[in-house]
Amino acid sequence: MDSKEFLKKLYRTMVRIRYCEESLVEPILKGEVRCPVHLYSGEEAIAVGICAALKKKDYIFSTHRSHGHYLAKGGDMSALVAEVYGKESGCSRGRGGSMHIADPENGMMGSAPIVGGTIPLAVGAALASSIRKDKRVTVSFFGDGAAGEGVLYESLNFAALKKLPIVFACENNLYSTHLPIRECRVDDNISTIGKPFCIKSFRADGNNVLKVYEIAKKAVDVCRKNQGPVFLEFVTYRLRGHVGPDDNIQGTNTDIRPKEEVAVWRKKDPVKKFERFLVKNKILSKTDMENIKKQAEKEVQKAHAFALKSPYPKKGEVTKYVFNQ
């Protein structure tokens, strides 16, 4: 793929994620979507930049805010939207909802609402790759909130000890639910936590897709050469509420983020930022970008139509495919 095609693909994937996320706002507010949904709007550059550095066979493990990771790794949008609606045709057969998204065919190994819960699973997958020598790299996505979970530190130690091919990718959106990072961490620079484990660590602007890609590519190459793990921190901001479109979903007015702060970050919107770059460098014209948006809009409409016409799991089968002890 030449570099223009590559940049176009990055842009298209970011737009697809944004349009898909925003298309869920109305159904959530109308109560048509019943599961909790953590929208990824504003953080697209991280999933897209990192997944562009990966091969299809590489693994990713995600969080409660998982839609962007799934789409960036090649997941089908219709199966995602159907899952969010709880339909049998969803990527987890409607049993999981927004926080249990998976697509093993494309290396998206799963997501879970337990903060930090997928980090040791990702380490386990990287351990398997290292034993099998299959040259796969695993990316563990987690939020700044997971830096308060002990399991992260155990995972860092074990991964460093065994030199596992894993990239720890922290999406620092400055809040853990409604708790600002400065109120729960002594040092808001999360990347420093890799240092005591002798893990190469980097921190960068998570709203700049090219920067994310550049750093992720280096990290993935290090892991591919069995010189991992690597710790990456990307600073970003969510443009929607912690859960639901605006945290007002139950009328509780819980988005306590200062309006001025939100306004500053709106100006750093990663999609708009990349658009300015693409126009300035004459990579895409405004018409090209409009066409990409129209295609994304069509894909989103198709995904919703597919989800709406799909059946719910049958009454007697809701526990089918669900883990039972």
By CB under 5 A, name the binding residues for Mg ion: 143-144, 173, 176
Q: State the residue number with the nearest CB to ligand TPP.
A: 143
Q: What is the C-alpha to C-alpha distance for residues 218 and 299, in angstroms, rounded to an integer?
A: 32
64 contact, one of ligand TPP, Mg ion, none, CB 5-8 Å limit per kind? ligand TPP
Q: Kindly state the smallest distance separating residue 222's Cβ from ligand TPP, in Å.
A: 25
Q: Which residues bind ligand TPP (CB under 6 A)?
A: 38, 64-65, 113-115, 143-146, 173, 175-177, 242
* 274 interface partner picked from Mg ion, ligand TPP, none, CB below 5 to 8 A per type: none
For β-strands 175-176 and 179-180, DSSP reports them as antiparallel
* Closest-approach residue to Mg ion (CB): 143
Specify whether the CB–CB gap between 209 and 274 falls below 8 A: yes
Instruction: Name which of 28 and 307 has its Cβ closer to ligand TPP.
Output: 28
Q: Which two tokens stand for residue 265?
A: 């970050």
Judged by beta carbon, residue 192 or residue 281, the one nearer ligand TPP is 192
Q: Least distance from C-beta 191 to ligand TPP, angstroms?
A: 15
Contacted by 36, from ligand TPP, Mg ion, none: CB < 5 to 8 Å by type: none
Give the nearest distance from C-beta 154 to ligand TPP in angstroms. 14
| Residue 66 contact, options ligand TPP, Mg ion, none, Cβ 5-8 Å cut-off depending on partner type | none
CB of 236 to Mg ion, least distance (A): 9
Smallest gap, in angstroms, from Cβ of residue 238 to ligand TPP?
A: 7
Nearer to ligand TPP, 36 or 313 (CB): 36
Shortest gap between Cβ of 115 and ligand TPP (angstroms)? 4
Minimum CB distance to ligand TPP smaller for 248 or for 291:
248
**CA dihedral of 153, 158, 160, 164, whole degrees rounded to 10:** -120
Q: Are 67 and 293 in contact (CB under 8 A)?
A: no
